[in-house]
Structure 1
Amino acid sequence: MKKKIAVIGSGFSGLSAAAYAAKAGNEVHVFEKHDQPGGRARQFTTDNGYVFDMGPSWYWMPDIIENFFADFGYKSSDFYKLVSLNPQFEMIFSDAKIAVPENYEELKQTVEHIETGAAAQLERFMESAKYKYKVGMQEFVNKPCYNWLEFASPKIAISVLKLDLLTNFRRYVSKYFKSPKLQALMEFPVIFLGASPKNIPALYSLMNYGGYVLGTHYPMGGFYSLVSAMKKVAENQSVHFHFNHSIEKIHVENNRVVSIETNGKILEFDSIIASSDYHHTESLLDAEYKNYDENYWKNRTFAPSSLIFYLGIKGRIPNLTHHTLFFENDLDVHIDCIYSGKKWPEKPLFYACCPSKTDAATAPENCENLFLLMPIATGINDEESIREHYLKEMLYRIEKHTGVSNLYDKIDYKKSYCVSEFIEDYNAYGGNAYGLANTLNQTAVLKPKIRNKKVNNLFYTGQLTVPGPGVPPAIISGKIVAKEVNKLKI
């Protein structure tokens, strides 16, 4: 039976859920507090000609994204041009750098130069990672995760040992590589999962395959091109979008959502899909209808927040690639500041994205578009003076790497974004940037549930529930929830 469904938020999970729910014949309305879709993947343009993606910048697992479009009879190329980056990225150490080539065979040669025998080890590592990717992304991540019985299939049972669920990622990587640089190269992708490699299951070597082997890409026009494309797909399924609409209250009667309150109006719906921050969504309910209390959230391990700078730079910056990771300092010391000390790091690691190297439209002529991101603890003081200190630190290290001087004086545009903005713009718990960390005790069934236990027509999607943080998982999350809503009897 056709349902009238409200989707709260238009991030990747919300766009995905809306499109799939509408495809099943439902009337779907998306409510977004901002004036454009995308959530953390919004985009803004400055008066002097810079175009900044606000969040995601790593286009990995292109097959998962392609699957979304295929489900509606499209290809990504119907909406944007996808460019394969070469090098995929550079990783800068105190005494060397590693450029990760586009071609996998060249990558094997690269690692062999660093450690004798590493090419053969990389082949073994990626063979196992490919298996995890195929099983993990086809079997594991598509479950609603109500209970462990969902995983009681012969294929998954046979795969359990090969998936290395009980081995931590750091120990797993060290079995293959002895070079600290290669270990850092292999560990880097799981930082996106929001925890130390010591606390992430080795299952997530699947990300190495999804990135290094399948390649790192860039959609021309910026990551927002994917947002625009998904919105167009949803609109083609007759989804209605309502921008500048904050949700003030979710009304429940007889253990069913009956309406939402937005911009002072009460609108009735048969079902709600919340892709907004999970904790915030529950704050819109009366206390007796919440899935989890405050104690629950206080005891979760959250992924980091981030200090971000959007910079327009006058002049070109030679010797800087599209993606550059500055790993001159110790990863574990930085991670301890995030999870143990809850303080600003003294010797930080950070990431620089310079999309103008690939896409001239993101900056005025003879200028660069520079996005800087440093992972930090949630809930810490992020006053302007602290932000400025770290900006100068990051620019100094870029100068040292590229040979360019006085970058600070060449700033043509500057905007910072940190804990406070994540809270203000996204109601993000503690100002987190990536949701819950994918630790073993926060994986699959152990994540917050996609369905409210007390309100049977309220569902949750996005980075705080299954399958977890990241753009491809968010898209999958929306599809999972739409299927569950479609099963609902009204």
Structure 2
Amino acid sequence: MARVVVIGAGIAGLATAALLARDGHEVEILERGSRVGGRAGWIDDAGFRFDTGPSWYLMAEVFEHYAEMLGTSIEEMVDLQVLEGYTILAGDSGAAPAAAGGGAPTVDRLDVPRGEDAVSAMAESLEPGAGEEMRRYLASARSALTISLAEFLYNPFTAVPDISSARLRGATRDLVRWLSTSLARWSNARFEHPLLRQVLQYNAIFLGVDPRRAPAIYHLMSHIDLVEGVRYPKGGFTAFVHALHERALAEGVRITLDAEVTEILAARRRGPALPVGSRGEVRGVVWTDGEGVEHRTRADVVVSAADMHHTETQLLAPDLQTWPERAWDRTVPGPSSVLVMLGVEGELPTLPHHTLLLTRDWEVGLDAVFLGSPTPETTSLYVCRPSASDDGVAPAGSENLFLLVPVSGEIGLGHGTGYPGDARERDVDPAVERLADLAIEQVARWADVPDLAERITVRHTLGPADFGTDYHSWRDGMLGPSHVLRQSAMFRRGPASRKVDGLYYAGATTVPGVGVPMCLISAELVLKSMRGDSSPGPIPMDEAPGAAR
């Protein structure tokens, strides 16, 4: 049994702590905030409950496997509803806002269904001959997902991958093709209709990568969202956070809030017990409580579920940093965002649970998000209306809206209004509020809700600087390092320090990557690494924590 300190009580921190505690370790989480959840946060205001983080529940089998590792089921943790697809509204980015004298835009609506047959029929309706091509595309996406789950996503890459395995040998030709071209080129070569291309490329943005730079293996996302479909946990992701929190406590995890870790302590020594290249081994952490009092907590293992850049460059001494500041100069950042949470009086029937507003010339918007060019006044954005599926997130007769406007984290945008009651002082950036206003106006025009702005009764915003302030996010990013090829799979950093024995990483900034399912997998990768398990693939249930007890 090891004494483990986990830094951060976001989803990755809670998930890691629960697994390690169930595996017999003594675990404490130190969380700098006043509550758990991290980026999967929430705001309660006037009867509305807003998720301020993830809202797409994808890769259900990852959630199911993780729940089984804890000796439970995902059905026992949350009440899931399967959503029947989502909607895309496509319009021109050049249409002037109404305030500038622009007229009503021409907007195309595409209701994207769930399931291979329905999606293929949709493709055929847009482009003759595309139905069969879509079946082939989705079959390829399924193959890419299968091999990724078996060989890459659950792989800690602490040993040289066995490229002689039958599965990899059989997929060599496909892997070469998937890794040598971009997702945009892969889908553009197969479909002509611009909406079909966007349906197959937009989800790269959820991975923090420009589809023009994402490796084509990420077309696996099309199987996930078009065939497996999107689910919704009643109560939002807040409900999943609460369930995970309860499981961690049930396993004996201690959680200390308002505890800011300021240093990871390591003994500098060399010896045969240390891995090659190590310069030290974990001894504990230094942290300050809400009153500013400094504490030292001994630990045999430290798992940082905080931002990796912050962990490496601020919490470790220079000679103990595996990835010092100079390494981040060569790292490609993912995007940031402006988040807008709205309580709206009356109904919004033209907006389903999930809606993507995509501009027809969306490469202009991609340049703004990933290259830092000016953000267009009319741009691609995402709208979630959870009150379409859940009457518990808004008062009767009102709607709950969440808007996400992707932006570059490197253009200097500041804070939004933040979380009500937050003790951290922040000045609201008028540029953030301006983008929020433009997004509300765009939704009003494109979704045909002309009086949307007048019906807003509650409004909260978060800007890029809030990610930096609240989560120490590198370059104010929303997600973490981009999933370009050289930052994916075995090329992504983690899950263990190369300089400090006993130091591990979990969360979106390490392997396997961004998103809630990847954070759950990262927890399992820490467990595998601590066990000395270098195998790919999920841990078998007969080796799960607690299985032998």
- 2:451 is the counterpart of 1:439: no
Distance 1:246 1:457 in 2: 20
Distance 2:169 2:152 in 1: 11
Partner SS for 1:176: coil
Structure 2 counterparts to residues 261-272 of structure 1, below 5 A: 261-263=286-288, 264-272=294-302
Contact 1:92-1:324 at 8 Å conserved across structures: yes
- 2:91 is the counterpart of 1:79: no
Partner SS for 1:258: strand
Partner SS for 1:344: coil
Partner SS for 1:468: coil
- 2:183 is the counterpart of 1:169: yes
Distance 1:221 1:433 in 2: 22
Residue 322 of structure 2, aligned match among 291, 306, 311? 291
Query: CA 1:240 to 1:143, structure 2 compared with 1: closer, same or farther past 3 Å?
Result: same
Measure how far apart 1:321 and its partner are.
Answer: 0.7
Measure how far apart 1:106 and its partner are.
Answer: 2.1
Q: Structure 1, residues 361-396: CA drift from partner, whole Å, max 9, x if none?
A: 111111111111011111322253212222222222
Contact 1:9-1:33 at 8 Å conserved across structures: yes
Distance 1:387 1:297 in 2: 26
- 2:396 is the counterpart of 1:382: no
Structure 2 counterparts to residues 72-111 of structure 1, below 5 A: 72-86=70-84, 88-94=85-91, 95-111=107-123
Residue 283 of structure 2, aligned match among 252, 255, 258? 258
Contact 1:146-1:445 at 8 Å conserved across structures: no
Residue 327 of structure 1, aligned match among 355, 358, 371? 358
Distance 1:241 1:153 in 2: 42
Larger deviation, residues 240-249 vs 143-152: 143-152
Distance 1:112 1:339 in 2: 32
Query: CA 1:166 to 1:296, structure 2 compared with 1: closer, same or farther past 3 Å?
Result: same
Measure how far apart 1:423 and its partner are.
Answer: 0.5
Q: Structure 1, residues 243-264: CA drift from partner, whole Å, max 9, x if none?
A: 2211121112121121211221
Distance 2:179 2:159 in 1: 17
Contact 1:60-1:211 at 8 Å conserved across structures: yes
Q: Structure 1, residues 110-138: CA drift from partner, whole Å, max 9, x if none?
A: 22111111111111011111111111112
Aligned length: 485
Structure 2 counterparts to residues 475-486 of structure 1, below 5 A: 475-486=520-531
Contact 2:28-2:256 at 8 Å conserved across structures: yes
Distance 1:93 1:141 in 2: 33
Residue 219 of structure 1, aligned match among 226, 230, 233? 233
The letter of the residue matching 1:34 is: G
Structure 2 counterparts to residues 53-452 of structure 1, below 5 A: 53-86=51-84, 88-94=85-91, 95-146=107-158, 148-149=160-161, 151-163=163-175, 164-254=178-268, 255-263=280-288, 264-282=294-312, 283-383=314-414, 384-452=429-497
Q: Which runs of 4+ in 1 moved over 4 A?
A: none
Contact 2:334-2:481 at 8 Å conserved across structures: yes
The letter of the residue matching 2:480 is: G
Gaps of 5+ in 1: none
Gaps of 5+ in 2: 92-106, 269-279, 289-293, 415-428, 534-549
User: In angstroms, what is the RMSD of aligned CA positions?
Assistant: 1.6
Contact 2:33-2:258 at 8 Å conserved across structures: yes
Q: Structure 1, residues 60-107: CA drift from partner, whole Å, max 9, x if none?
A: 111111111112221111122101112x21111124111112344222
Measure how far apart 1:199 and its partner are.
Answer: 0.8
Measure how far apart 1:226 and its partner are.
Answer: 1.4
The letter of the residue matching 2:82 is: S
Measure how far apart 1:51 and its partner are.
Answer: 0.1
Distance 1:79 1:144 in 2: 27
What TM-score results when the alignment is normalised by the length of structure 2? 0.85
More helix by share: 1
Partner SS for 1:308: strand
Contact 1:380-1:419 at 8 Å conserved across structures: no
Q: Structure 1, residues 270-314: CA drift from partner, whole Å, max 9, x if none?
A: 010101000111211111111112121122111100010111111
What TM-score results when the alignment is normalised by the length of structure 1? 0.95
Contact 1:419-1:431 at 8 Å conserved across structures: yes
* Residue aligning to 1:466: 511
Distance 1:153 1:244 in 2: 47
Partner SS for 2:501: coil
Partner SS for 2:144: helix
Larger deviation, residues 159-168 vs 369-378: 159-168
The letter of the residue matching 2:248 is: A
Contact 1:310-1:414 at 8 Å conserved across structures: yes
Partner SS for 1:199: coil
